[in-house]
Amino acid sequence: MTQVTDTGRVRSVTGPNITIEYERVDQEILNRLTRLTRLGFGVLNSLILLRYFLKMMGANPANPFALLINSTTDPFLSMFKGLIQTLTYRGIVFEFTDLIAIVVFGMIGWIIVQLLRIMFARSK
Q: What is the pLDDT of residues 47-60, one digit of tens each?
A: 999 999 999 998 89
Calpha distance 56→88 (Å, rounded): 9
The pLDDT-based confidence of 96 (bands split at 50, 70, 90) is: very high
φ, ψ at 60 (rounded to 5°): -70, 115
More confident residue, 38 or 120: 38
Q: Any idea where the domains of the chain sit in the sequence? A: 23-120
